[in-house]
Structure 1
Amino acid sequence: MDSSPDRCRTCAVVGNSVNLLGSHYGPLIDFHDVIMRFNTARIVGYEGDVGNKTTLHIMYPESSVDLDDHTHLMLFPFKIRDLEWLVSAFTTKSVKSTYKQVKSTVKANQGLVKVLHPGFIQYVHENWLGKKGKYPSTGFMGVVLAMHICDEVNVFGFGADKDGNWNHYWEAFGRHFGTGQHGGGQEYKLILQLAERQKLNFYKGF
């Protein structure tokens, strides 16, 4: 395995925090072997801060986006309907809603589709977060996944801004917007603890 060209030696887990704006992390992010992005993350217009390469794009039906032919679509299934949507998106295109309306199809390379085992979601929620929040965020699950598959994990774009707002780098939700169903504060605290223990490198941004 050590000699395999597919081995994940360095991994950039790129969150969607507004803290990436003005960071100029783009070239550093693109230098990694594996680059994870999440949900509706945008690249065009933000390359200098977030890079322009993607290896794994993690999503669920409600956050699905079209991908190029070289990027792996990784589904994090939170419910049975998510798995039904994935099959439908590449075949009948009949699933058009989950708990809300979703895209009935997605552009991606079918040969590069991956599905996270639902048991991993439960594992992260119970063993890492102590069941805080209704369920883990896709970003935090990506961090834990990277720690399981990569030799070196570097984390970018997580946390609130200096005023405590949890905005995305491409959109603002308004002041005092929280983390919804997720235990965002606990997740951020764990990332800081992992960095202190040198289990990963955390780039806070600006």
Structure 2
Amino acid sequence: MGAHQALEVPQVTSHDESSGPRLIPFLLIKMINKSRGKILGVLALFLVMVWYSIYREDSFYFPVQENNKTTCPLGEVEKKAAQLIGNYTRDHPLFLQLKDYFWVKTPSLYELPYGTKGSEDVLLRLLSITHYSLPESIQSLKCRRCAVVGNGHRLRNSSMGDTINTYDVVIRLNNAPVHGYEQDVGSKTTMRLFYPESAHFDPRTENNPDTLLVLVPFKPMDFQWMEAILNDKRRVRKGFWKQPPLIWEANPEQVRILNPYYMEVTAAKLLNLPMKQPRKVKQKPTTGLLAITLALHFCDLVHIAGFGYPDSANKKQTIHYYEQITLKSMAVSLHPTVLSLFPPFFPRDGGWQPRRAVPGC
């Protein structure tokens, strides 16, 4: 046994230098044969990992929309609005036009806020210095993606500002501030619906230079206030439940007069309110629900945010994101509420369902 071992060792170690290169491939082949199972296993595991990585990437891939916008569901708003609003149509203009009161003199069946009967003269003067058209940047859109932003407390600390700013049309209400709240409510304002008592004293501070300032007329005095302001006439002081601004520096080219048709639709078809009410009864749609109605007649995608009262048991909860008015103080002032037919957040699927009363101011 010892001699045999002594004989084997020189056979391996006594090769000359030329035999070294031939020996290396032989040893590698021998090692590979012994480790073939392990190598195949590692290779199979690697292929599985590559396949799984590709599968996961495909599973979690979402097509990027142009300008990071939601796909436009053309026709969906009309279908759903037609279920809520009888004789739904988009044929009515958003804003009142001079030609309807000067050349054509379209008759109106109702007085304000559901029509212009009895207010034609002052309205004629007002329409002669304001405009009715939409900006070309909005008129030419193939898809109008709209956000109606309410003034509810739920917007506070919501961090929804950037999301709101991505919409083509952002509709705001009354004197709700933007400056200082941009992170939660955004900074973009395409339209702002208001009436004299809710007008911000300096519209330039809370709006963009091209914001459309849309007057919502509730009574003839609202027309008179606007005409006096824009023509720098003697100010109207009586007939308001709250003193409106006496100085209101706005560009007349940015002012629009909302067509009372949309107030009529909101009241009669969404709230089932009678068009003629006793003087002591003052049930009127809020600006918030009116803005949603307007969007349903104008937009291809309608999302809302900032709507919804605090829980009725929480009397100390503030109602608006920008001030300390509580539900208790609102109850004392008899602020009207309306039934919301839409969720108080940005719906992903556009689905709407009945909700509880929401503030429209």
TM-score by length of 2: 0.49
**CA distance 1:141–1:191, shift in 2 (3 Å):** same
Could you say what secondary structure the match of 2:319 adopts? Answer: coil
**Residue among 253, 260, 263 paired with 1:118:** 260
Q: What is the correspondence of 1:46-195 to structure 2 with a 5 Å cutoff?
A: 46-65=181-200, 66-68=202-204, 69-97=209-237, 98-99=239-240, 100-131=242-273, 134-162=283-311, 163=314, 167-176=319-328, 177-178=330-331, 180-184=334-338, 186=339, 188=340, 190-192=341-343
Distance 1:135 1:166 in 2: 23
Determine if contact 2:151/2:307 at 8 Å carries over to the other structure: yes
Q: Which AA in structure 2 matches 1:101?
A: Q
1:16 maps to 2:151: yes
Unmatched runs of 5 consecutive residues or more in structure 2: 1-73, 75-135, 275-281, 354-361
CA gap of 1:53–1:192, structure 2 versus 1, over 3 A, is closer
Q: Which has the higher strand share?
A: 1
Query: Is the Cα–Cα contact under 8 Å of residues 153 and 200 in structure 1 kept in the other structure?
Result: no
Of residues 154, 158, 162, the one that matches 1:27 is 162
Quote how far apart the aligned CAs of 1:200 are.
6.0
What stretches of structure 1 move > 4 A for 4+ residues in a row?
A: none
Q: Which segment drifts farther, 144-153 or 107-116?
A: 107-116
Higher relative contact order (CA 8 A, sep 6+): 1
**How many residues are treated as equivalent by the alignment?**
195
CA positional deviation for 1:166: 6.3
CA distance in structure 1 between the partners assigned to 2:137 and 2:262 by the alignment: 26
| Partner AA of 1:174 in structure 2 | T
Task: Answer yes or no: is the 8 Å Cα contact 1:58–1:73 preserved in 2.
Answer: yes
Q: Percent identity?
A: 33
Unaligned runs of 5+ in 1: 202-206
Matches of 1:198 and 1:19, distance apart in 2: 20
Counterpart secondary structure, 1:161: coil
In structure 2, the CA distance between the partners of 1:78 and 1:166, relative to structure 1 (3 Å rule), is: farther
Per-residue CA deviations over 1:30-61 (Å, capped at 9, x if unaligned) read: 11111111111011221110001111111100
Q: Which amino acid aligns with 2:321?
A: Y
Q: Corresponding residue for 2:172? A: 37
Partner secondary structure for residue 342 of structure 2 = helix
* RMSD, aligned CA: 2.7
Cα distance in 1 for partners of 2:187, 2:162 equals: 9
Cα separation, partners in 2 of 1:78 and 1:150, compared to 1, 3 Å: same
- Distance in structure 2 (CA, Å) of the matches to 1:96 and 1:174: 31
Distance (Å, rounded) in 1 between the aligned partners of 2:188 and 2:233: 28
What secondary structure is seen at the aligned counterpart in 2 of 1:191? coil
Cα deviation, residue 175, structure 1: 4.2
After TM superposition, the score normalised by the length of structure 1 is 0.83
Q: Residue by residue, what CA displacement relative to the aligned partner does 1:65-93 show, whole Å, maximum 9, x if unpaired?
A: 23333211000000011111111111124
Partners of 2:295 and 2:170 in 1: CA distance: 10
- Aligned partners of 1:200, 1:49: CA distance in 2, in Å? 23
Asked whether the 8 Å contact 2:343–2:352 carries over to 1, the reply is: no
Contact 1:67–1:108 (CA under 8 A) maintained in structure 2: yes
Change (3 A) 1:16 1:81: same
